[in-house]
Structure 1
Amino acid sequence: MVGYGPEDNHFVAELTYNYGVGDYRLGNDFLGMTVVSSQAVRNAQKLQWPLKEISAGVYETEAPGGYKFCLQDKDSPKEDPVLKVTLAVSSLQKSVDYWSKLLGMKVYEEDEGKQKTLLGYADDQCKLELQGVGGAVDHGTAFGRIAFSCPKEELPGIEALMKKEGQKILTPLVSLDTPGKATVQVVILADPDGHEICFVGDEAFQELSRVDPSGGKLLDEAMAADKSHEWFAKCNIQKPSA
């Protein structure tokens, strides 16, 4: 999990490495993440990371796996510099109805000309931007999901509403044990375009999402001990560089 602060009040991204997968086919479902940070821009310039200026003080860049990022060259007005995550949708109105009327998100901005709508649960949190693409949404082979935490007593109501409205439930409400830690309750849904949405009981999530002060050291040790190159060599497959 990587982010600019604790998961309790910051957006974080979960990066996964799957053994046996040499590459992924990206679809058009994830359109990018917007970060407001002059420091991020300076870091990219210092490391000679490819930056494309798309407007004054706004740059587009790309992660090693092909995912796009938009960097705004200014200081964030809030604690978390992650401004928004943008997802593609085939029908903007249908998706806005799902996320706002069923999942209770507030509509912050609408741009009919650009087929974009900005939604969120709170003013100081990362926002979700839905963008109409005028066609089908392709999830490729590397798609993930968006997760939210909420009081666990709200989870049965979320599941019941989706059943009543005939919406897709990928994983019915279930309790998942984490050895040595909390048992967390989750329900996983899918919106009209198949974007996966996980709602997690906040009480257990609070325990599971605590920042590990030695997290960086443990990650370095795990990567140093990684033997996946041996598996790729045995299977005569070139290991991906990132």
Structure 2
Amino acid sequence: MKLLRRRDIPEERYTNAFLGYGPEDSHFVVELTYNYGVESYDIGSGFGHFGIAVEDVEKTVELIKAKGGTVTREPGPVKGGKSVIAFIEDPDGYKFELIERGPTPEPLCQVMLRVGDLDRAISFYEKAFGMELLRRKDNPQYKYTIAMMGYGPEDKHAVLELTYNYGVKEYDKGNAYAQIAIGTDDVYKTAEVVRQNGGQITREPGPLPGISTKITACTDPDGWKSVFVDNLDFLKELEE
């Protein structure tokens, strides 16, 4: 990844760094946030991982080891499947799944969140967010089901991986993972659609202090937060 942008907001006492594999206006990126004076967070049990597509998982793992990185799962087939994966962990404890794939325009390809009712979650993201169910796979041997949600094919777009573990209805979300952010042409209309489909608006539509970019924030039925960002405002923000 590359550092794409860094932003300090002293009046709100935080600093952001945006990292990714391409420009923010055309790629999915990771937003790292440092809140002044806070040294540690609780990741909880609900957040799963970020996914990164690589052409050779084994070589990537060796490179990470050589640079002192932490590998928590050695390369090998995913449970109940054939895809070759590995897991690594960053210094703050966030997990990253390395997924072996061919060349892709979107290497930062997944966010995995655990949910207590998969059908409810799928319906919400379809109706409130306009996502498509790209793939659903049940793995009874290991007692879990996944659903891939997104705005385009998995090999070309970042997707949301929803995971249901049999019999688990709730998770501890901790206070570390914050949200996914999605662009929209109208944050006010988006907030209404989210409300109409069972989402809870946690921040009414309007400009951010100190930035002027309009956003709205909401939570899904499992309590996972998302932020919708005005597309034109965001492009102006990138130009500043």
Q: TM-score scaled to structure 1, two decimals?
A: 0.77
RMSD of aligned alpha carbons = 2.1
Question: Quick one: which of 106, 112, 120 aligns to 1:86?
Answer: 112
Which structure 2 residue ranges, 5 or more long, are not aligned? 1-17, 78-83
Structure having the higher strand fraction is 2
Residue 197 of structure 1 and its aligned partner are, at CA, apart by 0.7
Question: Quick one: which of 37, 56, 60 aligns to 1:20?
Answer: 37
Q: TM-score scaled to structure 2, two decimals?
A: 0.77
User: Would the alpha carbon gap of residues 150 and 162 (structure 1) be closer, same or farther in structure 2, given more than 3 Å must change?
Assistant: closer
Letter in 1 for 2:28: F
Conserved 8 A contact 1:118-1:128: yes
Residue 21 of structure 1 and its aligned partner are, at CA, apart by 2.1
User: Would the alpha carbon gap of residues 31 and 177 (structure 1) be closer, same or farther in structure 2, given more than 3 Å must change?
Assistant: same
Letter in 2 for 1:168: Q
User: Would the alpha carbon gap of residues 167 and 115 (structure 1) be closer, same or farther in structure 2, given more than 3 Å must change?
Assistant: same
Matched residue SS, 2:213: strand
Q: Provide the identity percentage.
A: 28
Instruction: Look up the match of 1:208.
Output: 237
Instruction: Look up the match of 2:228.
Output: 199
User: Would the alpha carbon gap of residues 73 and 43 (structure 1) be closer, same or farther in structure 2, given more than 3 Å must change?
Assistant: farther
List 4+ stretches of structure 1 deviating above 6 A: none
Matched residue SS, 1:22: coil
Conserved 8 A contact 1:32-1:70: yes
Pairing 1:29–2:55 present: no
Instruction: Look up the match of 1:45.
Output: 65
Structure having the higher helix fraction is 1
Letter in 1 for 2:148: L
Matched residue SS, 2:49: strand
Distance in 2 (CA, whole Å) between partners of 1:168 and 1:87 is 18
1:1-242 mapped onto 2 (5 Å cutoff): 1-37=18-54, 38=56, 40-51=60-71, 52-56=73-77, 57-74=84-101, 76-113=102-139, 114-123=144-153, 124-133=156-165, 134-152=168-186, 155-176=187-208, 178=210, 183-209=212-238
Residue 107 of structure 1 and its aligned partner are, at CA, apart by 0.7
Larger-Rg structure: 1
Residue 17 of structure 1 and its aligned partner are, at CA, apart by 1.7
How many residue pairs align between the two structures? 205
Using CA pairs under 8 Å that are at least 6 residues apart, name the structure with larger relative contact order, 1 or 2: 1
